[in-house]
Amino acid sequence: MSINEFKEIIVNSNVELKGELAAEKTMAENGVDSLDLTLISYELSDVTGREITLHTGQTPNQILDMVNS
């Protein structure tokens, strides 16, 4: 999964980011809270077919490493 595909998942989760998603910043620093993250996890699990649990301390890069491993 690429960063652009991950951004698309965020859009499909109906989560609104205040600015551009920064790959090196944590999800919390990107303005994502636990409700947003649960919705993103849900969408990501649906797309990948795997149960994926995220936390706000992860960065998008770390999430992609996990998804792509």
Partner 1 sequence: MKTEAWVLKEKDEASAEFVYEEFEFSDIQSDEVLAEPLIGSVEGNYVHAVEKKPENIFAARGEDRIVLGNAGIVRIKETGSDVKNVVPGDICILFGNAKPDKYGYPIKVTGYDQPGSVGMLAKTIKLTSHEVIPIPKDTKLTYEQWAMFSLKFVTAWSNWKSALKAFRIQMEDMPLEEMNVWGWGGGVSYAELRLASILGCRTGMILGSSDMQELCRKNGIAAVDRNMPQSSIIEEVMKLTGGEGVSVFIDNIGKATYNTTMRLLSRQGVLATCGWRSGGMYPVIRQNECINRHIHVFTHYAPVRDGIEAIDFAEKHDWIPPYDGEVCSFEKVPQLIEDVRLGRNRSYYSLFRINEI
d(CA 55, CA 26): 9
Compute how many residues bind partner 1; rule: CB under 8 A: 12
Nearest one of 69, 66, 58 to 29, comparing CA atoms: 58
Binding mask 2-41 for partner 1 (x = CB under 8 A): -----------xxxx-x---------------xxx-xx-x
Separation of first and last alpha carbons in the chain: 10
Site for partner 1 in 40-59 (CB under 8 A): 41-42
Maximum distance among all alpha carbons in the chain?
Answer: 29
Cβ closer to partner 1: 14 or 25?
14
Interface residues with partner 1 (CB under 8 A)?
Answer: 13-16, 18, 34-36, 38-39, 41-42
